[in-house]
Amino acid sequence: MKIVLALGGNALQADPKDKTAQAQLKTCKETAVSIVDLIEDGHTVSIVHGNGPQVGQIVATVEDAAKQNPSNVMFPFDVCGSFSQGYIGYHLQNAIAEELNKRGVKKSVGTIVTQVVVDKNDSGFQNPTKPIGSFYSKEMAEKLEKEQGFIMKEDAGRGYRRVVASPKPIDVIEKEMIKELVEDGKVVISCGGGGIPVIREDGMVKGVAAVIDKDFAAEKLAEILEADCLLILTAVDRVCVNFNKPDQKELAEINIEEVNRYIEEGQFAPGSMLPKVEACKKFVMHDGSKIAMIASLSKAKEALKGLSGTKIVR
């Protein structure tokens, strides 16, 4: 089976308080066990990962350096995203290759720094809401708006933060290269953090300050690769309704009609379970013969056998 695997934050940082590179590499080694379980079972696995904490840390470091010395370069946000792709991809490919070697599985694994096309007229650009980077005073926020063209918004009484758009992905620039490698049996890590958002303008590709949800990027990649399965891995075994309430109910399988009803009821948290469910819905609506699943990282293998996870069907 050809699988596109979307890794949630718990696959990269088990302890949200420990954001060190050493902690991330340790978690990646644990994550690699579940990934290689699937590869060892004969599946072709392509990987997409998130980058929320990591790119936030990179941006904050860049901003702090600029605060200390205004002559320091304030790297554009799309460049910071590319930093995170290389940094996380390096750890994942290192960990997966090590686990493959331990088991005597001969597979090449590598990372492609990926540009993902968005529409410059996407509604997200009209009302940016995704906070990134450091907190600032009102005075400094106004200065950044004037000098850098940033959009700054007050954040729950903690100060002002920059906000960027979260547009939907419409294409992947490196898709042919990714397809060739996947067809050749390689383990490819791509579209990291949702990919570097770019727009096509005057025959050129231009980076923009935005954040693409990694679940939607994984769905787009799954369409491009004609994958058999979109498997979104997260921290819970199954999608639930009435989450954390006395009448909480786990869902083993749901159809599109049920998905729409639960979304209307507000059962899935925005920025958490909602984009996962919406990405799975989009994938099965694209081709009803395909499989979309949400499961926990530790039970990925069981999910493919129908023993865990939530399957979304048309």
* Catalytic annotation present for 9: yes
Catalytic residue among 8, 130, 193, 281: 130
Q: Which candidate, 88, 90, 59, 61, places its Cα nearest to that of 76?
A: 59
* Catalytic annotation present for 130: yes
Catalytic residue among 133, 175, 194, 214: 214
Catalytic residue among 276, 281, 290, 311: 276
* Catalytic annotation present for 214: yes
Catalytic residue among 9, 52, 193, 194: 9
Catalytic residue among 8, 10, 290, 309: 10
Query: Strand 204-207's sheet: what is its strand order?
Result: 169-172, 115-118, 196-201, 204-207
Catalytic residues: 9-10, 130, 214, 276
